[in-house]
Amino acid sequence: MFFKVAAFEFRYQLRQPIFWIGAFIFALLSFGLMASSNIQIGSTDNIHKNSPFAIGRATLVFAEFYMFVVAAFVANVIVRDDETGFGGIVRATRMRKFDYLYGRFLGAFAVAAIGFLAVPFGLWLGSIAFWVDPETMGPFVARDYLYAYFVLGLPVIFLTASLFFALTTVTRSMMWTYVGVVGLFIGGQILGVVLTRPGMEHIAALWEPFGAGAFGAATRYWTASERNTLVPPITGDLLWNKVIWMSAAVALLALAHGLFRFQAGTVSKRARKAAALAVAAAPAEAFASVGPRAAPAKPVFNAAATWTQLIARTRLDAGQVFRSPAYFVLLGLAAAASVGNLWFATEVSTYGGRVFPVSRIMMQAVSGLFPFFSLIIAIYYAGELVWREKERKTQEIIDAAPVPDWMFVAPKTLAIALVLFSTFVVGILVAIAMQASRGFFDFRIDEYVLWWLIPQTIDAVLIAALAILVQTLSPNKFAGWAIMVVYLISTLVLGNLGFEDNLYQYSGGPAVPLSDMNAQGHYWIAAYWFRLYWSAFALVLLVLAYGLWRRGTETGLRPRLRQLPRRLSGLAGVIMGLALVVFAGSGAFIFYNTHVLNPYRTALGDEKWTADYEKKFLRYETLPQPKIAHVTLDLQIWPHQTRVVAHGAYVIQNRTNAPIGVLHVRFMRDVIVGALKIDGAHLQTEYPDFNYRIYAFDKPMQPGETRTLSFASTFQQLGFRNSGNVVRIMDNGTFINDQELSPQIGMDRRLLLVDRTKRRKYGLTPELRLPVLGTPGADQFEGLRRDSDWVKADITVTTDADQIPIAPGYKVSEAVANGRRTARFVTDSPVLNFFSAQSARYAVSTVNYKGVAISVYYDPQHPWNVARIQRAMIASLDYYQANFSPYQFHQVRVLEFPAPDGSFAQSFTNTIPWSEGIFFIADNSDPDRVDMVTYVGAHELGHQWWAHQVIGADEQGEAMLSETMAQYSAGQVMKHMYGPYMMRRFLKFELDSYLRNRGGSVLPEQPLDRVETQDYVYYRKGSLAMYRLQDQIGEDAVDRALRHLLHDFAFKGPPYPTSVDLIKDLRQEAPADKQQLITDLLQKITLYDVKADHAVAKKRPDGRYDLTFTVDAKKIYADGLGHETPAPMNETLDVGAFDVDPGGSGFNASKVIAVQRVAIHSGVQTVTLTVTRPPKFAGVDPFSELIDRDAAATITKVAGP
């Protein structure tokens, strides 16, 4: 009986459309993931797309999405008997509950499992598609697909099937089950995000039900080669995760069995209620006559009546949505899920820094989920409302009533618009609640309404209009929904395939970058032109929906098409005509802006342009060219016209040993060159598409000779673009750098394509690398620009009179005339050829410290961290001047710039632009958090030494001299301000970030001295390496070495220093027994694996305690791809005894019982300490200075008295 039931269920479910549709969609998605170079989940460039890691990750993601299909199968098992009414017949048979429930479950589960085979099938098929780049694929290994399906995917399907089975058993309703599905899905996403924080890996591994946490934890620190070949063994946390959750699934099934009642649950309740009502409403006698019949009211058909009809229908339709439990649940889910986003929105970096919950950030946070939910609501309820009358069987009564034909589409559209509006209002309320809960009451309701509520509602209603038309045309509700899902997927795919024009992407439009400084600027204009365009189109769609509306019982499409002309004659046709006129008119205006006034660009098109640029010009990069010695710039900024006009001149000098015959002059792509004149040179070749010009000298430029180059250029945007509107020039908050307007001399390899797959696609050499460390001749060029050494500059900036212009240099004059303000900045000491110009309505705060004016130029809305920035500058100046060299300027200026322009801070000569998005709005109220403001400030000021005094040569390791040294400097400032216990927290973040990013890197990893673009090495590992070094050889020794480097190279032209010079200076200051350490930290990729164990404390007769524990130490060298070899270890590390776990919270000086530095060698050794109080924890490296993948294992609990 059991197997017969299962077999019947299996055959039945196999025939359901949901099976074939689900399998098709998932096969398509898997295929697309594998075969399209533009869609990625979790695989980066140097692991194969069909590596076991990538297959595993894709399978996990798809298994989570597949739960929507699984629910359809298993819920159907329970509810179809009740819904079809066949249940009574089935229940009257002899079938036992066990056979009935589990037999059906087995059949449905088997079908779901078979349907999921679409995923490995699609993945495999995609991997052999003839157009995929074979270098992105590894060999076909069946084990990988089997592992992913059976170990990763199938348990998820089993768990979700059991869960939804139990859920449907309790609720007996498909709708409530789907509410549960959405809830579980969102919950899974939130859980996934929460559990990625460092320290949660173990919890995630066990308790994340879909196994993604376990998979992630097992592969967290794997390198590329491991990810390409290995699958995580089914042991440890991964095994326990499966055991736990499979047991939970079985328990859920048992629960279903216990809860299931053979008689229909709610149906009988409803019947009982109806019976009770019938009794109440049935009087003893016949219809009571209520006296003589009053004169019956005759209907009146006028405008007032029609208006009342519209309101009544809209209210009914909207009420149907508002009162449906599904709506509340969807809304509740959106709100609950957004709480997570909102909470973490203020955690802006991986260091645990926090910012104030300004409304702009809150809006971004709710924009994660509310628009998505609004899409679901729009599509779902469009289907529900369009088919409402037919499904409820009220359509005959309603359709026969004397309402005009348009009284169906219009109220439903209005109702959905109301619903969507209210959804977004709820989003705002949730955001405001979060702000209030943090004690932040500057709500800016006007911003919420203008920047978010209105645009989001309009965009959602556009989708609803499309959905309404689709539902009007489609033969049933589910087909209509399926079509809308296909539409949604297509919008994702089309964008990736290079179809980006918002003129054909329905409801598309350019993004509006938001900023407290600049509000919406003028960007809303473009967005609303597109909204007008698409709204007109949506109106046409709605009129069509009205024209084709099913009224009465005639549902075929052809008869409705026949009635279309009749329906469209009259006002409807006029409206449609007008809408088409607006559509065409606005479309023409948009086209003019996005294709005529501005070039139409797509991401793929830009890639190709860059590839062509390289093919044409890279060969010239070794051509000897003169260098720039002096820069004069006159920048006219028109902030409200998005225009900057530059006039400038270079003094160029031939610093080679041979005459130079040609001059290559390059401008950025969109710069309009008004004039270009070079002393004694004429234009030889011009490449207008690439803004590249080759000039020939009439008489070659002799070694040592100088010439003048003068130019005029304009950078502007007219009108608006399809996407990528210029954000460098804003109404308030302009921030441009000189390279965006002024020419470069000669060719270099900056800004070319980096991605290996893309390079192969265009037939370029696989990699563009920095010159190898020590390449002869490479040290003739500094790392920032090949066409300059140290220069002097004279920069004049003019902007509107109500704004402050700033450029690097000392301000020598300022004047206001004709509504324009002009300021001139001069530097006469050597500086890098790297200039910015900013203009905004700033408030200024200046503090004078030992002859240096520290000024912060900030937006008056963001005063919170100004004093902290100044304090950071003061502390940094103190340390750097005392330990490195005197600061070369008399001013430090920090300038705020708008968030859309970037989330970074940058160091120009004595000028530090700093984004409003990072830490200008920092919230430092929690003293346990890392002080990000000080960290960034100290780092950027550090660059005034490490870049603006000493700049590395253009070869490998250059970033070590600038970024790593800035990290070191900032680390020292922080250490002196906050102590080693705060530093431990900081270093822990650095360690985790470094280790995580190793596996996902584009290029193989390099050691610090040869680092190229691996930012996780020169920032994160740099911090760790330098901190350990200064702890081991002493801060003074490191600083002496740096002083020496500065003495040798500051402000001097070529040859520029390399990492070789820095390491030589460090070796000189380090004792003999630390030379190997320098090699390990700076010239190799070194990992440690140190474990403390078997800690026992015994009380001594004198009241102290003898603590012994073992330390098992390993040192490992790795190569760029992660292949590891062991190495002998002979170092000194801190060992100690503590009251609390140093890795936990609350670790500070008072919790340290004893700490001392001892020699540790590879292998196992015993450490003995004598301590004054009973130790709870003991171990090695309590300050987390080692690069150890299992840092927690360095500390162990003490067994003892």
Partner 1 sequence: MPSLVIDKLTHVYPNDVRALDAVSLNIPNGLYGLLGPNGAGKSTLMRTIATLQAPTSGSIRFDDIDVIAEPQKLRRTLGYLPQDFGVYPRVSAYDMLDHMAVLKGVAAPKARRETVEYLLNQTNLWSVRKKALASFSGGMRQRFGIAQALIGDPSLIIVDEPTAGLDPEERLRFLNLLAEIGENVVVILSTHIVEDVADLCPRMAIIAGGRIVREGGPLDLIAELKGRIWTKSIARDELEACRANHQVISTRLFAGRTVVHILSDADPGEGFAAATGGLEDVYFSTLSAQRQAA
> Of 142 and 288, which CB lies nearer to partner 1 in the complex structure?
288
Measuring CA to CA, which residue among 1041, 1114, 1115 is closest to residue 1071? 1041
Q: Which is nearer to partner 1, 282 or 1072 (CB)?
A: 282
Where is 975: in which H helix or E strand? Answer: helix 965-978
CA dihedral 945, 950, 951, 957 (to 10 degrees): -90
Name the residue nearer to partner 1 (CB basis): 4 or 566. Answer: 566
CB of 428: closest distance to partner 1 in angstroms? 27
In terms of Cβ atoms closer than 10 Å to its own Cβ (0-12, 13-18, 19+), residue 655 is: middle
**Per-residue b or e along 780-793, where b marks 16 or more CB atoms closer than 10 Å to that residue's CB:** bbbbbbbbbbbbbb
Residue 463 Cβ vs partner 1, minimum distance, rounded to whole Å: 25
State the residues that interact with partner 1 by CB under 8 A: 270, 273-275, 277-278, 280-283, 286-288, 290, 293-294, 296-301, 304-305, 308-309, 312-313, 316, 319-320, 323, 388, 392-394, 396-404, 551-554, 556, 559
What is the rounded end-to-end Cα distance, in angstroms, of the chain? 64
Phi-psi region of 433 (alpha: psi -120 to 50; beta: other; left: phi over 0): alpha
SS (H, E, C) 534-546: HHHHHHHHHHHHH
Q: How far is the CB of 545 from partner 1 (least distance, A)?
A: 19
Is 400 or 429 the residue whose CB approaches partner 1 more closely?
400
- Min CB(382)–partner 1 separation in Å: 18
Q: Where are the alpha helices (DSSP H) in 1108-1165?
A: none
Q: Which is nearer to partner 1, 217 or 321 (CB)?
A: 321
| Shortest reach from residue 399's CB to partner 1, in Å | 6
Question: How far apart are CB 86 and partner 1 at their closest, in Å?
Answer: 19
Q: Which secondary structure element, helix H or strand E, spans residue 435, and what is its range?
A: helix 409-437
CB of 325 vs partner 1, minimal distance in Å: 10
Nearer to partner 1, 6 or 414 (CB): 414
CA atoms in the 13 A half-sphere facing the CB of 396 = 2
Closest CB 282 distance from partner 1, rounded Å? 8
Sheet of strand 911-915: strand arrangement:
843-849, 852-858, 891-897, 911-915
CB of 568 or CB of 1070, closer to partner 1: 568
- In the complex with partner 1, the residue whose CB is nearer, 313 or 758, is 313
Which residues are paired to 846 by β-bridges?
855
299 vs 819, which CB is nearer to partner 1?
A: 299
Segment 879-882 long-range contacts (CB within 8 Å, at least 24 positions apart): 879/969, 879/972, 879/973, 879/976, 880/941, 880/942, 880/944, 880/945, 880/969
Residue 395 or 798 with smaller CB distance to partner 1: 395
Among 975, 146, 1075, 18, residue whose Cα is nearest residue 479 = 18
Alpha helices in 1020-1091 (DSSP H): 1022-1033, 1035-1049, 1059-1069, 1075-1078
Q: Which is nearer to partner 1, 283 or 851 (CB)?
A: 283
Rg (alpha carbons) of the chain, rounded to whole number = 35
Adjacency order of strands within the sheet including 836-840: 734-737, 836-840, 804-806
DSSP-derived letter for residue 1057 is P
The span from the CA of 1030 to the CA of 964, in Å, is 13
Query: 425-455: buried (b, 16+ CB within 10 Å) or exposed (e) per residue?
Result: ebbbebbbebbeebebeebbeebbeebbbbb
Min separation Cβ 460 and partner 1, Å:
24
Q: Which is nearer to partner 1, 301 or 904 (CB)?
A: 301
Question: Could you tell me the smallest distance in angstroms from the CB atom of residue 288 to partner 1?
Answer: 6
Q: Name residue, tokens 């549902």.
A: 555
Cis before 1055 (ω within 30):
yes
Report the amino acid identity of residue 1003. Answer: L
Q: Measured from the CB of residue 400, what is the shortest distance to partner 1 in angstroms?
A: 4
Kindly state the smallest distance separating residue 393's Cβ from partner 1, in Å: 3
Least spacing, CB of residue 549 vs partner 1, in Å: 13
Least CB distance from residue 311 to partner 1, whole Å? Answer: 8
Question: Which of 90/277 has CB closer to partner 1?
Answer: 277
How far apart are alpha carbons 1056 and 1045 in whole angstroms? Answer: 11
| 3-class DSSP state of 829 | strand
Report the residue number, 130 or 287, with the smaller CB distance to partner 1: 287
